[in-house]
Chains A and B, each alone.
Chain A
Amino acid sequence: NAGVTQTPKFQVLKTGQSMTLQCAQDMNHNSMYWYRQDPGMGLRLIYYSASEGTTDKGEVPNGYNVSRLNKREFSLRLESAAPSQTSVYFCASRGGAIYEQYFGPGTRLTVT
């Protein structure tokens, strides 16, 4: 099992460019999450999907959109990147009644 995979690992964007971060899990989990990690801020929830076909906003959703493509895949889109979106992005999944989340290795995004 690969667990949770994320692509790309690194990305540099110019202000105003768009991109999609991809996430996939092979654990048959219902719930998937997108977080960003910034120095001194911990992990903050951007969006989550409690089950296939549903998505909900987290703490910091502005500037982002998500798509739960199927049970395995959950993508995060930046339509017009801003320097404030420079961060490390983590995708996570969780199954059933279990609270523990499984995290991917992260995507380091720099917006110049």
Chain B
Amino acid sequence: DQQVKQNSPSLSVQEGRISILNCDYTNSMFDYFLWYKKYPAEGPTFLISISSIKDKNEDGRFTVFLNKSAKHLSLHIVPSQPGDSAVYFCAASGGTGNQFYFGTGTSLTVIP
């Protein structure tokens, strides 16, 4: 049973516009959430994270929003750039922080 879900397999956005990637989770014990970016033939790289005690975390062009009551988080990229084209995974952890559950990924294409 998938505890972390990314319901949009793909997303296309014009360069300079906002990209919004969504993620839902089912386990209320999750207390830390992360976004990773993955290029083809490479391993995922960490992008941004948020603790459950916050509802927003910002790092440059990237902002993650957490809505605990809805068990939903989103990643906003503003402005989007062609180099942002990649697969984005959300991940969640809870308790000891030893296990991480990943979503299925959203492939973002930023059109020049």
Contact = CB atoms under 8 A, between A and B. Distances in A.
Q: Do A and B bind each other?
A: yes
Interface of A: 4, 31, 33, 35, 40-45, 48, 50, 56, 58-59, 90, 92, 99-106
B104 A40 contact: yes
Contact of B42 (A41, A44, A45, A106): A106
Interface stretch (B10-18, B68-76, B92-100): B92-100
Interface in B18-66: 32, 34, 36, 41-46, 49
Nearest to B97: A99
B interface residue count range (under 10 / 10 to 19 / 20 to 34 / 35 or more): 20 to 34
Nearest to B90: A42
Contacts of B9: 40
Contacts, number: 55
B52 to A, nearest CB: 12
Q: Tell me the dominant secondary structure on chain A's binding face.
A: strand
A99 B30 CA distance: 13
A105 B44 contact: no
A59 B6 CA distance: 18
Contacts of A56: 98
Contact of B104 (A4, A35, A41): A41
B93 to A, nearest CB: 6
B39 to A, nearest CB: 11
A42 B46 contact: no
Contact of A43 (B32, B41, B97, B102): B102
Contacts of B101: 45, 59
A42 B89 CA distance: 8
Contacts of B105: 42
Nearest to A9: B41
A45 B89 contact: no
A35 B44 CA distance: 11
Given A43-B89, A50-B98, A102 B104 contact: no
